[in-house]
Structure 1
Amino acid sequence: MTEHMVVQIVTPDGIRYDHHATFISVTTPDGEMGILANHINTITPLTVHEMKIRRVDDEHHVDWVAVNGGILEIKDNIVTIVADSAERDRDIDISRAERAKQRAERDLKSAEQAHQSDDVRRAQVALRRALNRISVGNK
């Protein structure tokens, strides 16, 4: 049996991640999901979350990726995530993420005061994404 799987994260900008892993952790609308090699073939939606990837080269080597929703497919030890955006911890500009957080907080407050439910939802999503990027960037 294979002891590892290939993990690929694809965005409209191309492949953002492509490595072998022994374990990954993702978050779906139903909760957290841990995936090991030889996992049953699956397709599931993902939420905005911090993806943990334990690489095969060293049991202590963990990559963190800020994933902004998307779809996960597991098929024959190939895990593919298709997302609007995804950033590895080393690629995140914390100051830019902090500015996005502040913008989202202002937009949320303004939309709530104006009782604009669509704008409230958009600002909430932007805030979740910014907070996710900050959290992963600080790993």
Structure 2
Amino acid sequence: MADMMTVQIVTPDGLKYDHHANFVLVKTTDGELGIMTNHENIIAPLDVHEMKVRRIDDDSHVDWIAVNGGIIEVQNNLITIVADSAERERDIDVSRAERAKLRAERDIQEAEAQHRIDEVQRAKIALQRALNRINVGSK
């Protein structure tokens, strides 16, 4: 079927997502990238973002996935994302993500007060990931 793409997301825990789609929206380090069938082949680094996958069965059937960075490869209607972690909207524990957000905010304040720049950066990344999970999990 020429009007669809296969979307696969792989993490160190294995294959996290494998479905057919007719549209995918991701956020690369250079900005948003909308992908439709027969898109030119590319490889690009991804930001922490909420990925949108419009499934082929119905235009209103959209999967939202919290992707924490990684790499996207588009080749011949196969989209492969390799990421440290990725969670579908239905699999996100929002209360756990809220606790991670609070913990990251506290860690940022403590690290800034003690001028520990590396720890500030790590905590900011943790905060960004928690916020991403909250946004996706609340859809």
Bin the TM-score by the shorter chain: over 0.9
Q: How does 1:96-115 map to 2 (within 5 A)?
A: 96-115=96-115
The Cα of 1:61 is off from its aligned counterpart by: 0.3
RMSD: 0.8
Corresponding residue of 2:94 = 94
Corresponding residue of 2:23 = 23
Corresponding residue of 2:120 = 120
Corresponding residue of 2:135 = 135
- Aligned AA for 2:69? G
Cα separation, 2, equivalents of 1:126 and 1:73: 25
Q: TM-score, normalised by structure 1?
A: 0.99
Is the counterpart of residue 72 in structure 1 residue 72 in structure 2?
A: yes
The Cα of 1:137 is off from its aligned counterpart by: 0.0
Corresponding residue of 1:51 = 51
Give the number of aligned pairs: 139
- Aligned AA for 1:6? T
- 2:136 match: secondary structure: helix
Deviations along 1:22-70, one digit per CA (max 9) or x if unpaired, are 0000001111000000000100000000000000011110000000000
- 1:2 match: secondary structure: coil
Deviations along 1:78-125, one digit per CA (max 9) or x if unpaired, are 000000000000000011000100100000010111111100100000
- 1:3 match: secondary structure: coil
Segments of structure 1 that go 5 or more residues without pairing to the other structure are none
% identical equivalent positions: 67
Cα separation, 2, equivalents of 1:29 and 1:71: 10
- 2:67 match: secondary structure: strand
Segments of structure 2 that go 5 or more residues without pairing to the other structure are none
Q: Which runs of 4+ in 1 moved over 4 A?
A: none
